[in-house]
Structure 1
Amino acid sequence: MAQRQPIKIGLIGLGKMGQNHLRVLSLLKSVELAFVYDLNTKAAEQLGETYGVQTHADLEQLLPQVDAVVICTPTVTHGDYIRIAAGYVKNIFVEKPMADSLEEAKALSDFAAEHNLKIQVGFIERFNPAVQQLKSVLDKSAQVISIDFTRTNKLSARITDVDVVTDLMIHDIDLALYLNGPVRSVSAHGVAQDQMIDFASALLTHQNGRFSRIQASRITEKKIRTIQATCVDMYVDCELVRKELLINRQSEIQQQDGGPYTISAIEQTIEVRQQEALLTELQTFVAFCHAQDVEVPTAADGLHAADICDQIQKAVRQ
């Protein structure tokens, strides 16, 4: 089989996340990084020189050279860049959230369908090896009852344009949809200061009868990234930062000579491969561009997550 030619990718946006993408894209042999672009032309020129990649003050001078783009600009500009890029490429990766409002998410989803765009949304936690292993375990469960997601962080000075629901909780909203399927109802409460939500807790009831309980906070002085799944045959504890997976199973209940019952339990540690989620995510994007059979978060997934976000935000602010 002939080896595929590297796919030519342009990177738009060189903030903290954009620079992470730049680092990983530059390592991939399956990628030819054709250009980097940022409104801060000085920063773009410096990074372009460091990585040996061209840049230009006019984005539309660069777009005809590529097969795909990766968009890592501020959320409010995602739609603008998707619409510009669509005139030149069909393969687009856009960081999460896809848009800054439900209305814009709907418009972009429609736009993608109308223009036959292949959009992958940057829900990176799907590519966390601990999450991939968790999904494999849950797929084998006799019955999943509920999954709890907790994600906390100190308020980041980097994030000023979106609240905790759109910034942090959206990761777990996507995972809840990914692991438990479509949602039937949403309830939520939280804390908002000047309409900016810093703490939120939500209960999603899924169409298959499962529950997702999601909590996100930017006022907790500790970084937490955990998922706990309650199943009829096991309890699964997943730690996303350390990439650890523990399974607790009830092995047997015994009673001897009419005495008290004793319950034996087994704790099993599941090995999780230690691969960077961003690397897996971008490798999958390359495969997606090549029309390989891979599962990625699409524009439709971005819209579903935005819809749940909107319902949670409205419930908290009421």
Structure 2
Amino acid sequence: MKIGLAGVGHLGKIHLKCLLNIPEWTVSGIYDADAENAKKVGEEYGVHVFSSFNELLEASDAVDLVTPTTTHFELARQVLKSRKHLFIEKPVTHTLQEARKLQKLYAEAEVKVQVGHVERFNPAFLAVKDQIKNPMFIEAHRLAEFNPRGTDVPVVLDLMIHDIDVVLAAVQSPVKKISASGVAVISDTPDITNARIEFLNGTVANLTASRISMKKMRKMRIFQRDAYISVDFLTKESEVISLVPENERGKNPFALTLTNAAGETKELEYSKPEIKPLNAIEEELKSFYYSIVNKTTEEVPLDDGVSSLEVAHEILQKIRVNLSMIQ
């Protein structure tokens, strides 16, 4: 199956390396609005360079869209109108209006569309994914050192949206209420943001994202009735502290025994799941391929990408309201 790559900037080049590593995909070629950059990348990786997006589209069965977010809708529209399969990087579109138009086109096109929320494929998350059941409280910190690349969008759409997607996938309940605050320090949009998301089922998620930190951090802590789960997306490590079922008590000599004020004894067990050495971007591009050939639901379908964008934009709206009150 032939896939064309649109956009060969920093992330696009990473996608290209991954696609060339996946035998299931054949790279038909690349296209970039910057013709000089496209030529340079084409020569470096030995792939065909298309002079227009239409040429790439005609020569491909599927398109991997890694262009600036402001261009997503128009290019994605062309892909869906041509009834070609689409992998589209996050955020799915620049505006919610564009995202909803894309949903209508998708419903008519009868093709596969997957959104690039790559943390769903992070091996640290995959190692504990099946153990996340009815979380009650989630806390996430996604901190990055300052980098001028990406400051054209708010940190909510650049960084926090990763955690929004993971939280929505883990909680599986409608959002009830969102509170948020943020501060623009270096750029024209908020560089550090905190958001509290409350769900109808009672779950609460507290998310913090910053692009002006002294060190990197991409960590999520999940608290549920029988376990505490920690996922480090950066170091690709996970930890689980779980309550030992009554019929299993006393079997693990390393279990921690605790007695509460009522005299009830509980056993806690610590585990560090084995992490498989996976390339998350390769895994998401493979899953996209298999959803096409097996005619199965995409791992991160378009609706999930739109839901994350809806929450992100509501967070931005709450920040704007708070800032206007301060000013």
TM-score (normalizing by structure 2): 0.87
State the percentage of identical aligned residues. 33
Quote the offset at 1:268 in angstroms: 1.6
Aligned-residue CA RMSD (Å) = 2.2
d(CA) in 2 for partners of 1:189 and 1:59? Answer: 39
Match of 1:173 in 2: 164
Which ranges of structure 1 fall in alignment gaps of 5 or more residues? 1-6
Quote the offset at 1:52 in angstroms: 2.5
2:96 matches 1:96:
no
d(CA) in 2 for partners of 1:295 and 1:115? Answer: 15
Q: How does 1:100-249 map to 2 (within 5 A)?
A: 100-139=94-133, 143-181=134-172, 182-192=174-184, 196-249=189-242
Match of 2:300 in 1: 297
2:61 matches 1:67:
yes
Instruction: Tell me, yes or no, if the aligned pair for 1:69 and 1:89 is still in contact at 8 Å.
Output: no
Instruction: Tell me, yes or no, if the aligned pair for 2:63 and 2:87 is still in contact at 8 Å.
Output: yes
Quote the offset at 1:237 in angstroms: 1.4
Quote the offset at 1:226 in angstroms: 0.5
d(CA) in 2 for partners of 1:296 and 1:265? Answer: 33
Q: Give, as a single letter, the amino acid of the residue that structure 2 aligns with 1:111.
A: L
2:67 matches 1:50:
no
Query: Which of 101-110 and 300-309 deviates more?
Result: 101-110
Q: Deviations over 1:199-253 (max 9, x none)?
A: 1111111232212111111122111000101122221111111111111245433
Q: Which structure: greater strand fraction?
A: 1
d(CA) in 2 for partners of 1:58 and 1:295? Answer: 28
Structure 1 segments of 4+ aligned residues over 6 angstroms from their partners = 260-264
d(CA) in 2 for partners of 1:190 and 1:281? Answer: 31
Query: Which of 277-286 and 189-198 deviates more?
Result: 189-198
Change in CA separation of 1:261 and 1:65 when aligned onto 2, cut-off 3 Å: closer
Change in CA separation of 1:262 and 1:289 when aligned onto 2, cut-off 3 Å: closer
Instruction: Tell me, yes or no, if the aligned pair for 1:68 and 1:289 is still in contact at 8 Å.
Output: no
Query: Which of 198-207 and 30-39 deviates more?
Result: 198-207
d(CA) in 2 for partners of 1:284 and 1:264? Answer: 39
Match of 1:253 in 2: 258
d(CA) in 1 for partners of 2:30 and 2:46? Answer: 10
Q: What is the number of equivalent residue pairs in this alignment?
A: 306
Q: Deviations over 1:76-128 (max 9, x none)?
A: 00011112222434310010001112222222222222333421110000011
d(CA) in 2 for partners of 1:252 and 1:164? Answer: 43
Instruction: Tell me, yes or no, if the aligned pair for 2:182 and 2:319 is still in contact at 8 Å.
Output: yes
Match of 1:3 in 2: none
Quote the offset at 1:294 in angstroms: 5.0
Query: Which of 182-191 and 290-299 deviates more?
Result: 290-299
Q: Give, as a single letter, the amino acid of the residue that structure 2 aligns with 1:162.
A: V
TM-score (normalizing by structure 1): 0.89
Instruction: Tell me, yes or no, if the aligned pair for 2:8 and 2:66 is still in contact at 8 Å.
Output: yes
